[in-house]
Amino acid sequence: MQLTRSPMTNELSFMQLLFQKNRKSFTSFPDKKLAEDFADGLFHLLFTSYEGKYHTAADLLRQYEYLRDNFSALVFELLKNEKDVSRHAEQFFAAIPNIYEQLLLDAEAILHYDPAAQSIEEVLVAYPGFYATAIHRIAHQLHIQGIKVLPRLLSEYAHSKTGIDIHPAAQIGKSFFIDHGTGVVIGETTIIGNNVKIYQGVTLGALNVAKENASMKRHPTIEDNVVIYSGATILGGSTVIGHDSIIGGNVWLTYSVLPYSVVYHKSEIKVRDNNPIPEALNFVI
């Protein structure tokens, strides 16, 4: 049996349609690969340049200027105006020293609280929570400046590398610590205070995902010195976790708790000898 092939003219028409549609849709989008290279390049410049690629401060300066050129190329695709691009570049790179100081505090928090961390260098090169936090702080600065699309490209790149999903608009305070990190989700309107520790599988999400509520605060507020253990889910824009609280593993929380609270999920676990087993543990029909 032979399959009939569509006439070449039909295929060409479809390709023309695709070309026109994609051309119309993506003329104001930055290059995704360039955005990813920019994120890694800036992270490397700030934290791992001691590995040997750069031997002098002049080498770092040349890389810095290269990254500025990449940044300008990315933002130009969005704004199409060289004056606006220059203004955003100045604002962004002026913020880098402060971002760097914030990230050093994040790294020190990981070293201080994680007994498995042996050195600050190990944290910088090997901890996915630190990498995700670093890219978030960079993306958040872009969000503050009102730059569209590019912050999401950076945050989703970090998400793909680490399994940690942080929206660029989320506000995160000093000395932030994500341990392990896989499955962490931090929503757009989340506000996190200082010295907060979050473990794997934590969700800071919304109770209502209706599109008409997009401009409202939909995600929780986590005050200073809170610890949230693995698997906890905290939902809602009016939900506030009071400072110095501990949220236990697998907790599902949709209301506020006072400062110094301990919230935990209690489940019954039975341990017994497995021989003999008088009752059936599995039922198969």
The domains located in the chain, with CATH, are: 29-163 (1.10.3130.10), 170-265 (2.160.10.10)
Residue 207 neighbours by CB under 8 Å, 6+ apart: 218, 235, 236, 237, 254
Report the share of the chain in percent with pLDDT over 90: 73
Q: What mean pLDDT value characterizes the chain?
A: 90
pLDDT digits 0-9 by tens, 11-21: 888 888 888 88
CA distances from 276 to 270, 280, 284 (A): 16, 11, 20
Q: How far apart are the first and last CA of the chain?
A: 45
CA distance 46 to 107: 13
pTM: 0.87
CA distance 285 to 275: 24
- Torsional class of 282: left (φ above 0), alpha (ψ -120 to 50), beta (otherwise): beta
pLDDT digits 0-9 by tens, 132-146: 999 999 999 999 999
Inform me whether the pLDDT recorded for 266 exceeds 50. yes
